[in-house]
A and B are shown apart, each in its own frame.
Chain A
Amino acid sequence: MQKQQVIERAEPVSTTGAETVPAEPGAAEAGAAEAAPAPSTTATDRRRQIASGLRASLAAGMGLVPIGIAFGMVVVQSGLPWWLAPVLSGVVFTGSLELLLVGMILAAAPLATVALTTLLVNFRHVFYAISFPLSAVRSRLGRLYAMHALVDEAYAVTAASPRGWTGWSLLPLQLAFHTYWIGGGLAGVALAHLLPGPIEGLEFALCALFITLTLDSCRSGRESRRRCWAECASPARWSSSPSMRCWSGCWPSSRR
């Protein structure tokens, strides 16, 4: 009930960005000129949104694939059954913890230890709900998947470029991350017998990704506040919405 209200209220905000393709900073401005007020549902729009989601996934993929390969190799080389790599990556989908789990499964750690480790390592996820654009996804099943696949990379990419996400760009982004991670794991399983070890240093891609996203999120916060203030100050706005709510909306969660 309350959820429904929030979604409805969020709608006018999201339509301003619905037509624009959010993935790269700068794309929002480019699309704004041609933006129509109605929410986009045509096939071309959909294709464009899917493409933008996939494009936004590429940089993180550069980090996820090599780490996935390393994970698959670790699973096989430590003597665990190969299917553990795709099962953990598909069902659990929590990068760094999966590497820890390999060691714990090998040592037959008690389930309570596994549970406590999971709680500690993954506790950071509780903060992702504050700005992750889940309300962009309309279908129930889609929302369940979006929450399941809310990995660090999905949070970080959306937080650094928060405007204009739709279900058609957000879910492809997350599906792409999931595919990179599972695919990397399977490649690692296949390569485990051929290579002595993964190429050292490729995992730095994730660190580099988070650095660029830090820089972007600092900038997008400043920009959206400036844009919002300009909008609140325009007289056309005053008749339609109480100005206090408009100003208070200029704090960054209006960027969702």
Chain B
Amino acid sequence: MPETGYVVAVVAVVFAITFGLRALPFALVMPLRESAFLRSLAAWMPAGLMVILAATTLRDSAGAAWGHLPHAGIAVVVTVAAHLGLGRSTLLSVGAGTLTFVGLVHLF
């Protein structure tokens, strides 16, 4: 069991760095929001970052030894198909994809 003082120090360090990473860029970005470079950056960044987030969470779902990669692949296809085919309802698409993955993981 770690000492409470150490745990508090860890929480403080992680909080300070994380809040800094989240908050400081606003101070830099706010005056630059009208710049053409940032505008074009803002154009492609969201989709690009989200592809990265999707890829890292997919990697987590696939398991340490990639054992669940086929299951995850099928669930990705179901999610995309549900989203594009059933009117882009996020809740419905996420529900369909997740149920598919949970079902496949437990069955196979």
Spell out A's residues near B (CB within 8 Å): 2-3, 6, 9-10, 24-26, 58-59, 62-63, 79-81, 84, 87-88, 91-94, 96-97, 101, 104-106, 108, 111, 114-115, 118-119, 122-131, 134-135, 144, 147-148, 150, 152, 155-156, 159-160, 162, 199-218, 221, 248, 251-254
| B38 A253 Cβ-Cβ under 8 A | yes
Docked complex Cα distance between A215 and B50 (Å): 9
Contacts of A2 in B (CB 8 A): 30-31
Chain B residues proximal to chain A, CB less than 8 Å: 1-2, 6-7, 9-11, 13-15, 17-19, 21-26, 28-31, 33-34, 36, 38-43, 45-47, 49-54, 56-58, 60-61, 68, 71-72, 75-76, 79-80, 83-84, 88-91, 93-95, 97-98, 101-102, 104-106
What are 18 of the A-B contact pairs (CB < 8 Å)? A2-B30, A2-B31, A24-B90, A25-B88, A87-B11, A91-B15, A108-B6, A129-B25, A130-B38, A131-B45, A160-B46, A203-B60, A204-B97, A207-B54, A207-B75, A213-B50, A221-B47, A253-B33
Q: Are A130 and B21 in contact (CB under 8 A)?
A: no
Min CB gap A154→B, angstroms: 10
Bound complex: CA A104 to CA B30 (Å): 36
- Chain B nearest CB, measured from A29 CB (Å): 13
- Give the Cβ gap from A13 to chain B, nearest Cβ, in Å: 11
Closest chain A residue, CB of each to CB of B9: A111
Cβ–Cβ contact B1 & A81, under 8 A: yes
